[in-house]
Structure 1
Amino acid sequence: MSEFMSSHWKKIVGMVFLIVLTVAMGIACAFTMTKNIEVSLDENTGNGSVQTQTLASQRQSQIGEVLKQKGYPVDNGEYTVSVPLDTKVKDVDNVTIKKNAKGTLNVDGNGHTYDSTADTVGDLLKDQNITLGASDVVVPSADTPLTTEVKEIKIVRREEKEESRMEAIPFEVKQTVNPELEDGKQNIITAGVNGSKKITDKLIYEDGILVSRETVSAQTVLEPVTEVIEVGSKVTTEVKQETREESIAFTSQKVENPELEQGKTNVKTAGVNGTARIIENVTYENGKETARSVVSKETIKEPVTEVVEVGTKAAEPAPTPTPEPTPEATQPEAPTEQPAPAPEPAPAPTPEPAPAPEPEPEQPAEESNGIDLSNATHFTANCTAYVATGNATASGAWPTSGHTIAADLSNYPIGTRIYIPYFDTVFTVEDSGGAVKGNVIDIFFDSYAEAISFGRRNLDAYVLN
């Protein structure tokens, strides 16, 4: 062996050198050889904005260094790389750089921000350990891609409940005709009773707020009872004979008076209405008047014709004034010689039939109480009588005999003063009544006997202006 080594040592050393050299060269090649990797930059906008580039790098280089050298945003916190940055080039073929999605997540009344690389909204919720109920609503939906365009995610907690309540069922009303019951009257045969039903509603709450209510079922618990009413149709007819008095309007006559100045008039005889007594048959059906016919008509007081004098005397011409003498006048005329159209005994105003000796009935009985009827409005009042009802009058005052009357307030308002010569009294309108219409005047009396005794009469009356 030693002989062999001695004779071949040079060859052996040469072979070892070659082996070491080969290994060294292999190791050097391993460090200096390159590899192609595919790098994708995803801006995560959701519209396919992905840029892909192939890079040739030394196999032993770290991915992070390679990406930085090529200007990729790998260390600003806004992008996420699909592999660790210290990974060797030789160990990967593809690298993805994706921009993080940022926004606000609102759930259970709270809002917080997220910074995520999750692919969908649902993936983000899983990463956030948020559990969804069966009826919960996610906006946008869980399968929506999580891109930089999504700025807000809202989770609506949705809850459904059922509630029951009772509700009344109104009863119906049925009418039947009873020919034995007086027309206009009614009797309840069967009283109506409301029924009831059980209503079940479905209520939907979103984040604890009621947003809808829907009836899902209705069950009758108690049937309603129909109300039965009988309506009378029987008509009772009654004929009564009634007596009333009616005014007979007076007529007017004009006569000329040559002693009365032209253009003037004078009432010589005051007109007075007459009175007629009328007997009528009045038909009532169930107490309501339906017809009226005259049986007889008798004049119990003839009307007095009004006589009016019309003046025809021409007015006297005004006296001509005498001219006064001027200083130059040589022969002034004495006033005694020229009796200047003397103010002739001023046409002694033709003694207009002085308002004196005229017969009393010819003037509206104003002298009895010194009442001035010159501007009063005359009318014939259909006078009736009434007594106390226990209530105040329409004016609010309590009625007083000899003072209070009721009238049609559309013709004679509260406070109107009306003089009735029959009573020689001025009455005041303080009340009204359902049957007091037109020229009807209802006079208040203290006692029922007085009212019955007065009855109904047509009397002259004057509205004092």
Structure 2
Amino acid sequence: MQSIVSSNRLFNKKILIAAMVILLVAATIIVMKLNKHVVIAFDGQEVKVMTFAKDVEGLLKKEGIEFEEEDKIIPGLQERLVDGTRIVIHRAFDITLVDGGYETQIRTAESTIKDLLSSQEIKINPLDEIEPALTEELKAGEIVTITRREENYIVEEQEVPFHTVTKYSDTLNHGETRLIQDGENGLKEIKIKISYEDGIEVAREVVEETIHKEAIDEIVEKGTLNYIVSSRGEVTRYKEVIVMEASAYDAGFESTGKNPGDPYYGLTRSGTKVRRGVVAVDPKVIPLGTKLYVESMDGTASYGYAVAEDTGGAIKGNKIDLFMEDRSEALKFGRRKVKVYILE
């Protein structure tokens, strides 16, 4: 009987030892699963730790790593830890945001301008201008400027002022005027684009114009009886007008028979130096020294104001020779009819 009791005690002891071993192995497995290898990257350093902490926030507090609300922690504070988790802490810094002219100080840990605007829930419109660009790296002390641009369109009606057209007539005395046609304003519709920056108008541009009614010119007739109106609009009184055959000459040998070095080279019959505005005439028709205005009759440019200071062997009767600066110009002129006004 004593032998049986002793045997039972030994058996029970073995069972107890086995149970304790099993519990120890199970506890070891549980501890190994709960104890995780984690890397924390912050402030330019990396720290490897073994931890039983359940989540990111718990680990940081246990390790005494301080953080502020604006810091960006990846993964988030409530993320559960697993073996091999890597935690990165981006420290917040101060930047200045100028949005539409309003300045705000912001503390952020975002890495780009685009991320900053997204974190602040700031919407950008297609016309807005951002400086620096969205893809630029965000740095401490950065000034981010958003210029808000808008475009509006308005439509206006405007009068089109009529123009006054002056026509000269030698049937009216100088100084007399006569209204030939009344002027009338026209009407147009214009579409205007107005550009704004930060709510302030910066430009206006006409982008479309529609004429609804054409303006009608006012036509006024001005008298020029015994007055000549030059191509420059100068009005000069004259006492006689003669239609003459005009030719042209220059100072060279082909025109005057004189070469440079001749004491009379470049001199007129009146003893003056040849120049544009000097003309050769028949003194029996136009006395030397007479002031003239030579007007074209074929639509080409008029020779203009001139003085009769020279003569020529072939210039007889109603003929006039106009001085030109060079031979080619004289040859190009050729011969043509002109009106010669004898000025008072």
Provide the TM-score with structure 1 as the length reference.
0.40
Instruction: State which of 198, 208, 225 in structure 1 corresponds to 2:216.
Output: 225
Q: What residue number does 1:190 align with?
A: 181
Deviation of 1:143 (Å): 4.3
Instruction: State which of 179, 183, 192 in structure 2 corresponds to 1:201.
Output: 192
Q: Tell me, yes or no, if structure 1 residue 103 matches structure 2 residue 104.
A: no
Q: Tell me, yes or no, if structure 1 residue 53 matches structure 2 residue 53.
A: no
Deviation of 1:13 (Å): 2.7
Larger relative helix fraction: 2
Deviation of 1:189 (Å): 0.9
Report if the CA contact (8 A) 2:128-2:147 is conserved.
Answer: yes
Q: Unaligned stretches of 5+ in structure 2?
A: 228-236, 241-344
Report if the CA contact (8 A) 1:64-1:86 is conserved.
Answer: no
Give distance in 1, aligned partners of 2:163 and 2:177. Answer: 17
Instruction: State which of 156, 163, 168 in structure 1 corresponds to 2:154.
Output: 163
Give distance in 2, aligned partners of 1:88 and 1:173. Answer: 88
1:209-234, CA deviations, whole angstroms, 9 ceiling, x for partnerless residues?
10111110112232121222334454
Q: What residue number does 1:117 align with?
A: 109
Deviation of 1:97 (Å): 1.3
Read off the aligned partner of 1:39 and give its amino acid letter.
Answer: I
Report if the CA contact (8 A) 1:177-1:233 is conserved.
Answer: yes
Report if the CA contact (8 A) 1:63-1:86 is conserved.
Answer: no
Distance 1:193 1:55, change over 3 A: same
Distance 1:25 1:215, change over 3 A: same
Q: Tell me, yes or no, if structure 1 residue 128 matches structure 2 residue 128.
A: no
Q: What residue number does 2:17 align with?
A: 17
Provide the TM-score with structure 2 as the length reference.
0.51
Deviation of 1:176 (Å): 4.1
Distance 1:60 1:204, change over 3 A: closer
Distance 1:77 1:89, change over 3 A: same
Structure with higher Rg: it is 1
Q: What residue number does 1:63 align with?
A: 59
Report if the CA contact (8 A) 1:104-1:151 is conserved.
Answer: yes
Distance 1:101 1:175, change over 3 A: same
* 1:187-336 equivalences in 2 (<5 Å): 187-235=178-226
1:26-63, CA deviations, whole angstroms, 9 ceiling, x for partnerless residues?
4257547965433323x6xxxxxxx4636142456952
Give distance in 2, aligned partners of 1:149 and 1:77. Answer: 17
Read off the aligned partner of 1:100 and give its amino acid letter.
Answer: A
Report if the CA contact (8 A) 2:160-2:187 is conserved.
Answer: yes
Aligned length: 225
Task: Point out which structure has higher relative CO (alpha carbons under 8 A, 6+ apart).
Answer: 2
Report if the CA contact (8 A) 1:74-1:80 is conserved.
Answer: no
Q: What residue number does 1:384 align with?
A: none
Deviation of 1:203 (Å): 0.4
Distance 1:77 1:170, change over 3 A: closer
Distance 1:143 1:59, change over 3 A: same
Deviation of 1:158 (Å): 2.5
Q: Unaligned stretches of 5+ in structure 1?
A: 44-50, 237-287, 292-465
Q: What residue number does 2:40 align with?
A: 39
Read off the aligned partner of 1:98 and give its amino acid letter.
Answer: H
Give the superposed CA RMSD.
4.1
Report if the CA contact (8 A) 1:31-1:60 is conserved.
Answer: no
Deviation of 1:64 (Å): 1.8
Distance 1:235 1:129, change over 3 A: closer
Report if the CA contact (8 A) 1:108-1:157 is conserved.
Answer: yes
Report if the CA contact (8 A) 1:169-1:197 is conserved.
Answer: yes
Report if the CA contact (8 A) 2:148-2:198 is conserved.
Answer: yes
Q: What residue number does 1:74 align with?
A: 66
Read off the aligned partner of 2:202 and give its amino acid letter.
Answer: V
Give distance in 1, aligned partners of 2:219 and 2:79. Answer: 96
What SS class does the counterpart of residue 15 from structure 2 fall into? Answer: helix
Q: What residue number does 1:416 align with?
A: none
Read off the aligned partner of 1:112 and give its amino acid letter.
Answer: T
Give distance in 1, aligned partners of 2:107 and 2:209. Answer: 51
What SS class does the counterpart of residue 148 from structure 1 fall into? Answer: coil
Deviation of 1:66 (Å): 6.4
Deviation of 1:156 (Å): 3.3
Distance 1:204 1:289, change over 3 A: closer
Q: Tell me, yes or no, if structure 1 residue 180 matches structure 2 residue 171.
A: yes
1:148-180, CA deviations, whole angstroms, 9 ceiling, x for partnerless residues?
335333333332111233444343444445443
Read off the aligned partner of 1:169 and give its amino acid letter.
Answer: V
Distance 1:178 1:90, change over 3 A: closer
Q: What residue number does 1:93 align with?
A: 85
Give distance in 2, aligned partners of 1:129 and 1:171. Answer: 56
Deviation of 1:86 (Å): 8.6
Give distance in 2, aligned partners of 1:134 and 1:63. Answer: 44
